[in-house]
Structure 1
Amino acid sequence: MKLSFHGADRNVTGSCHLLEAAGKKVLVDCGLFQGGRESAEENAGDFGFSPGDIDFVLLTHAHLDHCGRLPLLNKRGFRGEIISTAATRDLARLVLLDSAHLQEEEARAHARRAERRGETGAPAPLYDLIDALNVFDRFGRAIAYETRVELADNLAVTFFDAGHILGSASLLVEAEGKRLLFSGDIGNCDRAILRDPVVPHGVDVAVMESTYGDRDHRALAPTLEEFYQALNESYQRGGNVVIPTFALERAQELLFYMREGMENNKLPSALAVFLDSPMAISATEIFRAHPECYDGETSALLARGRDPFALPRLHFCREAAESIALNTIRGGAVIMAGAGMCNGGRVRHHLRHNLGRAGASVIFVGFAAKGTLARQIIDGARKVSLFGEEIAVRAHIHTINGFSAHAGQAELVAWHKSAAPKRTFLVHGEEEAMETLAGLLPGPVDRPELGKSFLL
């Protein structure tokens, strides 16, 4: 039996692990590398294995860094079966179509720039919409949580709720008498909507994420209080609130908490909320279609005929014209728009119209990578460039930590203790986070480099 690592090795994107056992080749995730020019080269490069040899892809969840290279895998010869939960399958379709659209747009932009410079040979997209549509034919069985599924003789998989995003799973693979647990991304406990992670006990090998292996998150209660306070202060000033929002999980979580805040008189019910993201709107509809993933509180709401994402004055803005019309609103609106790091999408237009207003607020509720517009604003930039204009930053800027969908250090250690693996491979984390977490875990702990393989 051999285990090899082809992504998210000593970094946090491009998750991809290959297990060769029982005469089959099983890929766990096939994610997109995200970042700068190096990531583009990694995405376009060789997988480190032959796509045509892969029998199964087991998909832990639908975030782009876990599923984003599936169309490319299929384009290069994969003809096996992709297996996931039903919710992951539905979200992955949404994510991959959006990714293909962005790939095509980026390729066209490169071509226009090359044409202006008199150059030829602009790069083709990594994959296009047809490639994304084609890979949907590879999605086969949709697996319910904690249902053991035989893949071949002496090879089976069970999906356990990872509590990260809708449909996310940790995968217990039983192969040749060994139990291997692939964590996927482990969720943060006691969050809205989803259940806490479920961990099978007593495994031989764990392949475990380590994103926040060096720190814990802020507690939820003070996080919510700060969020409600920022919304109330802006409402009282009469200004708009712009919230750069990730379309999956974060948008739905914020809708849930705003509804809860209004019901508990912590927010005014007159607050007008605009979800200005076609992808987030579609994702919210998928959330509504999969109550089997909900925790007890959210299930109880549904049983009483309540919609966990419904606000008294919630407006969905799918069309570009609806988004543009929001820029005529001078105050009193909460505008949630993508992208979360402000590196593209509709939020940049809303920032252009609101950053310069002293009564407005911008609330950041997610991670912002270095070099992104979000990070510039968070770090205190007095001016930023948007659409070729220098925009003064006069709005109130709030950075609210504590909404992470990833487990913090203490939860990672607890997860590992529950799984009790004899050997651990740490993936999906920066080296400092991995090193810190490795020092807290018992037993042999490996931190594999890209392309490295191990005989088990």
Structure 2
Amino acid sequence: MKLKFCGAAQNVTGSRHLLLYDNKKILLDCGLVQGGFGRLENHQMNNNFLFDPKTIDAVVLSHAHIDHAGNLPTLIRQGFKGKIYCTEPTVELLAVMLEDAAKIQAQDAEYLRKRFQEEISPLYDKADVAKTLKRLVGYKYGEPFEVEPGCQAVFYDAGHVLGSAQVFLTVNEGNVTRRIAYTGDLGRKNMPILNDPYQIPSADVLITESTYAEHLHDSFEYVFEEMEWVVRDVVARGGKIIVPGFSLERTQELIYVLHKLYLDKKIPAVPIFVDSPMSTKISEVFMRHVDYYDDQSFKDFLGRAKSPFAFKNLKYITSVNDSKKLNEYKGSCIIISASGMCTAGRIVHHLKHNIEDPRNLILIVGYMAKGTLGRRIVEQKRKVKIMGSFYNLKADVLAMNEFSAHADKLELMDNIKKIKKLKQIFIVHGEELATAYMRDNIINTLKFKGEVYAPKLGESFDL
């Protein structure tokens, strides 16, 4: 029995972890590599798997984010014939997420053809997405199912995004049984909308994310007070707040917070525009799965017969023309737009038109991978390149890490500490320094006596 790490190894994006047992191959996640390497390098890494897709028996998916699920259509295009197991909300979310991802693949391929004067095809198209959606099989949290003979699985709430799961596998090979826990992306306690992450009590092997293994997050309880101050301050100086928002979860959390502040009369009645067709569709999916919400959401909204994602000052923008009109909007407003890392989508245009106005604020509410426009803005580079031209970064930049949907270093350590009988830990989904820091912390702080690895890309390990 082996694990081979084929993505998100000493890197955050492109999660692909391969379980091999009894001539079976089970793939945990199949995400896109994003940022960090450049478009051509990303395209090549996403198009060249470290395994033959035709030999994969099944895929078990943790959640719908593109860095975990966005390369599924490529897998199918290259010959994968099996089923893809995920939670029921993830089935619906992928219909939205992958359709949008196919458009981005076409745009990226066109850019690369012009840039390098080579014949470069998109990784996949809408036809591949349609084939992918037919392979999805959805399960509820806590509902056991057989992935393949000898491999049983259960999904547990990861508290990261709607439908996100920790994957628990029980694998039998001859006389050997291994219980393997995969965190996917582990969320945080006391966040809006979702329940807290489930605590897996016991496992032999843990594959854990490490995105924020070096960082501590502020408590989310401070978000309402800080957001009130931010909105009032920017509106008072006549500026706009530009928010790069991940369409899945982060945008819904932002709307939740702004709606509550509006209801409590804590912020002025400033127009709020969600300029993302995908965010609009995803918010509709959220309202079809209210049984996944936490008790506070019912207390704040649903118990009062209100949708968290609809109120007077909020307008969803879908058409291109209406999106362009926002560039001419006079006066203060809040614009939430995708993509979350500013690598594509309408947010790029909004940044282009607003980044040089010192009255404005760029509000960062999520992780920005190396090499992305979002990371350059977070690092407050004096000049940033947008759509081929350089712009002076004169707008204020504020990062609110309270919104992070990833566990911080204390939460990651606490999760590991509470999992009994662990023999092996594999640290993934983190940049090189973060994985090394977490490994050191597990060995020296937790005094863990088993094996701890921060795998390199392509490395395999016996279980």
In structure 1, the residue matched to 2:323 is 323
In structure 2, the residue matched to 1:429 is 430
Deviations along 1:151-197, one digit per CA (max 9) or x if unpaired, are 34442100000001111001111111321111111002211111111
In structure 1, the residue matched to 2:61 is 59
- Quickly say closer, same or farther: Cα 1:187–1:228, change in 2 above 3 A: same
Q: How does 1:388-399 map to 2 (within 5 A)?
A: 391-399=391-399
8 Å CA contact 2:12–2:369 kept in 1: the answer is no
Deviations along 1:11-59, one digit per CA (max 9) or x if unpaired, are 11111112223553211111111222433321122x2222222221100
In structure 1, the residue matched to 2:125 is 128
The answer as to 2:83 corresponding to 1:81 is: yes
In structure 2, the residue matched to 1:418 is 418
Matched residues in 1 for 2:114 and 2:324: separation?
Answer: 25
In structure 2, the residue matched to 1:287 is 286
Matched residues in 1 for 2:150 and 2:381: separation?
Answer: 58
Q: How does 1:148-167 map to 2 (within 5 A)?
A: 148-167=144-163
TM-score of the two chains, using structure 1 as the length reference: 0.92
In structure 2, the residue matched to 1:42 is 45
Matched residues in 2 for 1:158 and 1:259: separation?
Answer: 35
In structure 2, the residue matched to 1:196 is 196
Deviations along 1:219-267, one digit per CA (max 9) or x if unpaired, are 2233442222111111222322221222111111100011111223321
Compute the displacement of 1:213 (Å).
1.4
Matched residues in 2 for 1:20 and 1:123: separation?
Answer: 32
Matched residues in 2 for 1:392 and 1:44: separation?
Answer: 35
Compute the displacement of 1:82 (Å).
0.4
3-state SS of 1:308 partner: coil
8 Å CA contact 1:32–1:66 kept in 2: the answer is yes
In structure 1, the residue matched to 2:97 is 95
Task: State the identity as a percent.
Answer: 38
3-state SS of 1:439 partner: helix
Equivalences, count:
448
3-state SS of 1:216 partner: coil
Aligned partner of 1:398: which letter? L
3-state SS of 1:306 partner: coil
3-state SS of 1:402 partner: helix
Matched residues in 1 for 2:184 and 2:392: separation?
Answer: 41
In structure 1, the residue matched to 2:445 is none
Matched residues in 1 for 2:224 and 2:367: separation?
Answer: 17
8 Å CA contact 1:22–1:175 kept in 2: the answer is no
3-state SS of 1:188 partner: coil
Higher mean C-alpha displacement, 181-190 vs 146-155: 146-155
Deviations along 1:312-332, one digit per CA (max 9) or x if unpaired, are 211010000111111221112
Matched residues in 2 for 1:378 and 1:11: separation?
Answer: 19
Higher mean C-alpha displacement, 56-65 vs 123-132: 123-132
Matched residues in 2 for 1:376 and 1:155: separation?
Answer: 43
TM-score of the two chains, using structure 2 as the length reference: 0.91
Matched residues in 2 for 1:386 and 1:109: separation?
Answer: 14
8 Å CA contact 2:58–2:148 kept in 1: the answer is no
Matched residues in 2 for 1:321 and 1:43: separation?
Answer: 33
- Quickly say closer, same or farther: Cα 1:430–1:380, change in 2 above 3 A: closer
Matched residues in 1 for 2:20 and 2:387: separation?
Answer: 49
Matched residues in 2 for 1:55 and 1:387: separation?
Answer: 41
Matched residues in 2 for 1:390 and 1:188: separation?
Answer: 37
Compute the displacement of 1:340 (Å).
2.5
In structure 2, the residue matched to 1:170 is 166
Give ranges in structure 1 of 5+ residues lacking alignment. Answer: none
Give ranges in structure 2 of 5+ residues lacking alignment. Answer: 443-447
Matched residues in 2 for 1:308 and 1:292: separation?
Answer: 14
In structure 2, the residue matched to 1:451 is 458
